Amino acid sequence: MAQLAVNVDHVATLRQARGGSTNYPEPVAAAVAAETAGADGIVVHLREDRRHINERDVRLLRKIVLSKLILEMGATSEMLGIALDIKPDCVTLVPEKREELTTEGGLDLITHENHIREAVSTLKNSGIAVCIFIDPDLDQIKVAHKIDADMIEIHTGAFCDAITDIQRQKEFDRIINSAKIGSKLKLEVNAGHGICYNSIKAFAGLNEINEFSIGHSIISRALLTGMEQAVRDMKELIFRL
């Protein structure tokens, strides 16, 4: 059964919605509830502009998370310094643009190969596993393998956002091919971005995927059902894949 890593960024988004004048809701409490309901990992994205998660959250999560803490970050020297200090179990390297609403695409390893290779080596030398968030593109996967990443996270956003059936199938075929190639290259293959309680069902039988990284849909459901129920519902769907 694939694992479920729960991204709690949007609990912090709600906290920050009043311009920082409230200290609730608490992302750490959401992480504890997610773990109680069976989450296999907790994910947070520490963005350069600290728009949701801040350093205090990551430090507290490091102390409290019992499963594994996955830190998403850009490969900047500031973020590398924070990661080496806090030592999450895993870092997922993502591209980051200040203006974007959410991470818009995978890292372009063809353009940034040397820079990312250095970041991978720095993190791995410090005992942190490294995952790279990339589009479902064979050339990108080959570079991820070449620069010695432990894992890839395949960007599922284009598939989840596809409007027509043809587009959807085309995007899903890219995911299937990428998962198979990644797995052949002995990379651990994860998937994430935009996955909801409906789109998760498409992954039935795609056994190469080791872990799903899911945030927005779970936190949205949690508003109505509570965090534990929202995580249990997603775990159940993954169990049935």
Residues annotated catalytic, as ranges: 45, 72, 193
Among 102, 167, 198, 207, binds ligand PXP (CB under 6 A): 102
Among 2, 3, 4, 9, binds ligand PXP (CB under 6 A): 9
The yes or no reply on residue 194 touching ligand PXP (CB under 6 A) is yes
Categorise residue 134: left if φ over 0, alpha if ψ from -120 to 50, beta otherwise.
beta
**Location of structure tokens 């959410």:** 102
Tell me which stretch binds ligand PXP (CB under 6 A): 110-118, 169-177, 191-199, 222-230.
191-199
Rg, Å, the chain Cα set = 17
Q: Decide if 51 contacts 92 (C-beta within 8 A).
A: no
Ranges of beta strands (E only) in the chain are 3-7, 41-45, 69-73, 90-93, 129-134, 151-155, 188-192, 209-214
Distances in Å between the Cα of 238 and the Cα atoms of 3, 11, 23 are 8, 23, 33
Specify the residue, 101 or 166, whose C-beta has the smaller distance to ligand PXP: 101
Reading the block at residue 69, the tokens are 């803490």
The yes or no reply on residue 203 touching ligand PXP (CB under 6 A) is no
Among 3, 67, 92, 199, binds ligand PXP (CB under 6 A): 92
Among 135, 137, 153, 171, binds ligand PXP (CB under 6 A): 153
Q: Which of residues 60-79 bind ligand PXP (CB under 6 A)?
A: 72
Binding-site ranges for ligand PXP (CB under 6 A):
7, 9, 45, 72, 92, 94, 102-103, 133, 153, 192-195, 213-217
